[in-house]
Amino acid sequence: MVDPVTRRQWGFRALFLALAAAMMFVQILPFRIDNPRWPGPDTLTLLAFAWVMRRPDYAPAFLVVAVTLFTDILFMRPIGLWAALVLLGYEFLRRRQPFSRDLPFLVEWMMVAAVLLGMTVTNALVLAIFLVDQPVLGLTFIQLIISIAAYPVVVAISRFALGVRKVTPGEVAAMGHRI
């Protein structure tokens, strides 16, 4: 018999995969839902970061990296660069999740914003060092700002629509410190 905690974890992992597939499908559609002059937020990275700040067991690193690597291939980005940066940002946030559990949302938002800024700057620098064609730097930073602004929306949808909430200290003790 599978215990309820494991069943819930695998259910949310399947939900993460389904949401990632839906986001990729919408991005490859031949028409744009948003304004074509402005880049949209990186919702997949935001979703992974929102979930790692709440329940890192729902979206483990191997799943996030596999999905991000697939998006690198699908969107013809340098293979593995953004996936590696997402993994570094994910692990940075995951290591701080037990300490940031009781912090206000504004601090979490700024921490995620700093990680996204570091990832974006590192991505631009690596692409520049290897002389790889890259988007206009202004558009890259506009996407960063839009992504930072969209993070509270992703968190709200994750919390209220999907039920991904922060783990409480009582739940950690009940699960045998599995988080």
pLDDT tens figures, 3-45: 777 777 788 888 899 999 999 998 888 776 666 678 889 999 9
What does the pLDDT look like over 121-175, one tens digit per residue? 999 999 999 998 888 888 999 999 999 999 999 999 999 988 887 777 666 555 5
In a domain, 165, yes or no: yes
- Contact residues for 131 (Cβ-Cβ < 8 A; gap 6+): none
In a domain, 70, yes or no: yes
State the pTM of this model: 0.88
- Contact residues for 71 (Cβ-Cβ < 8 A; gap 6+): 20, 24, 44, 77, 82
In a domain, 94, yes or no: yes
The CATH number given to whatever domain includes residue 140 is 1.10.1760
Lowest-pLDDT range, 82-86, 97-101, 130-134, 150-154?
97-101
- Which DSSP string corresponds to 110-135? HHHHHHHHHHHHHHHHHHHHTT----
Domain enclosing residue 117, as ranges? 4-173
pLDDT reported for residue 150: 96
Q: Number of structural domains, the chain?
A: 1
| Cα gap 68→17, rounded to integer Å | 11
In a domain, 123, yes or no: yes
In a domain, 63, yes or no: yes
